[in-house]
Amino acid sequence: MSEVKVPELAESISEGTISEWLKSVGDQVEQGENIVELETDKVNVEVISEVSGVLSEIKAEEGDTVEVGSVIAIVSEGESGSTSSEQKESDDSESKDSKDKEKQTEAPKESAAKSEDTSKEEASSNDRVQATPSARKLAREKGIDLNKVKTQAGDVVRPEDVEKASQPSKPAQQEKQSQPAAQKNENPSKPVVREKLSRRRQTIAKKLLEVSNNTAMLTTFNEVDMTNVMELRKRKKDKFQEDHNGTRLGFMSFFTKASVAALKKYPDVNAEIDGTDLLLKQYYDIGIAVSTEEGLVVPNVRDCDKKNFAEIEQDIHDLAVKANNKKLGLDDMMGGSFTITNGGVFGSLMSTPIINGTQAAILGMHSIVTRPIAIDKERMENRPMMYIALSYDHRIIDGKQAVGFLKTIKDLIENPEDLLLES
């Protein structure tokens, strides 16, 4: 027998939520096989079985919060077939012993005592029935005896089996329809659906509120003429993709390299406050905001000052794939020094992004829109323009530094060849 425990997650994470059981009670599991997925404040973590055997017991339901080190399941040695057979023999033996004891009982018991014994027997019997955690939870909520639930497929009771068993017969339904409703919706024309926030969404809400409450956040804006970088990308993208094993040349690598150059010029933007100290970071791990179905995550591209355009583009692509496949690790999320978010991919023209965690600033990119621009006093031209924004912590960064930082980004993007010298 082997206990499955919640593993050490990270220094700042002490608990997680059971997101999904990948195996059911009675299923065969192999050593190293994933059996349950935990949702933490930052990423989803899959927990493996340390031994081969049968998942004989599940101690935490989907949706339960579990602490690091707690036992959430038991894996027994053997195979699923033999386990089921042994379980059946054990149940038959217990049933026989129970009947023998009942025959030997001479004195009748009080009705209240009988009711209590019956409840205990039903609970014990329910524990012996093979059922998924979600089915057990639903059965408890509806007060249904799992022994009386007919399964649709196999021997394991599933939620749809419990749901079907909970539906009243047709006469009962007709009787129920003939009775007035106990409670009426106060405003049936305004229906609402109540859903519990996921752990990820709760964490996002908490962190954003903390940043809003604990920083003196301001935002400054500028606009960038994207003509030159778009022309350079158009000329070089095919050769770039050919030379770098299919890696595409996007705009993010230009803005990442421009950010590194600006951070070197304005080091306070690459800092954070720790008590009464200012930590000036001597590394350039740039967080790239990625939108997923469960919310925004910010994995980090490490050592951007030491990587070329192709390496940065490939890292961004790999992290985005991992994020959408829920495969990001805690190492991917920890320790960034500066963040870039691109609302332009969703059509945003302008925004005031919120600083990520304890960082000092965040750069916001937006949609590229063709607008008439004055070239000089006499000429107007239609140019592809992008508004950019820098939200910053005014406790660390003065307005002059913030404007200078954003102006450096603008100059480098409008003259992309300079990135080779400045970054």
Residues annotated as catalytic are 394, 398
Q: Where are the alpha helices (DSSP H) in 195-248?
A: 199-214, 227-243
Instruction: Report in angstroms the alpha-carbon separations of 224 from 64, 70, 356, 381.
Output: 48, 53, 23, 14
Radius of gyration of the chain from its Cα atoms, rounded to whole angstroms: 30
**Contact (Cβ atoms closer than 8 angstroms) between residue 343 and residue 387:** no
DSSP at 294: T
Distances in Å between the Cα of 255 and the Cα atoms of 30, 225, 314, 338, 364 are: 46, 13, 15, 12, 10
**309-324 and 252-265 helices cross at what angle (nearest 10)?**
110
* Residue 370 three-state SS: strand
Q: Are 349 and 367 in contact (CB under 8 A)?
A: yes
If you ran DSSP here, which 8-state letter would residue 157 be given? B
- For 306, the token pair is 């030491």
Show Cβ contacts of residue 77 under 8 Å, excluding neighbours closer than 6 positions: 1, 51, 52, 53, 54
Task: Give how far the C-alpha of residue 72 lies from the chain's centroid of Cα atoms, to the nearest Å.
Answer: 21
Within 8 A by CB and 6+ apart from 223, the residues are 385, 386, 387, 388, 410
Q: Given the structure tokens 């190293």, which residue do they identify?
A: 32
Our CA angle for 174, 180, 184, nearest 5°, is 125
Cβ 285 vs Cβ 315: under 8 Å: no
Question: Could you give the CA distance from residue 390 to residue 384 in angstroms, rounded to a whole number?
Answer: 20
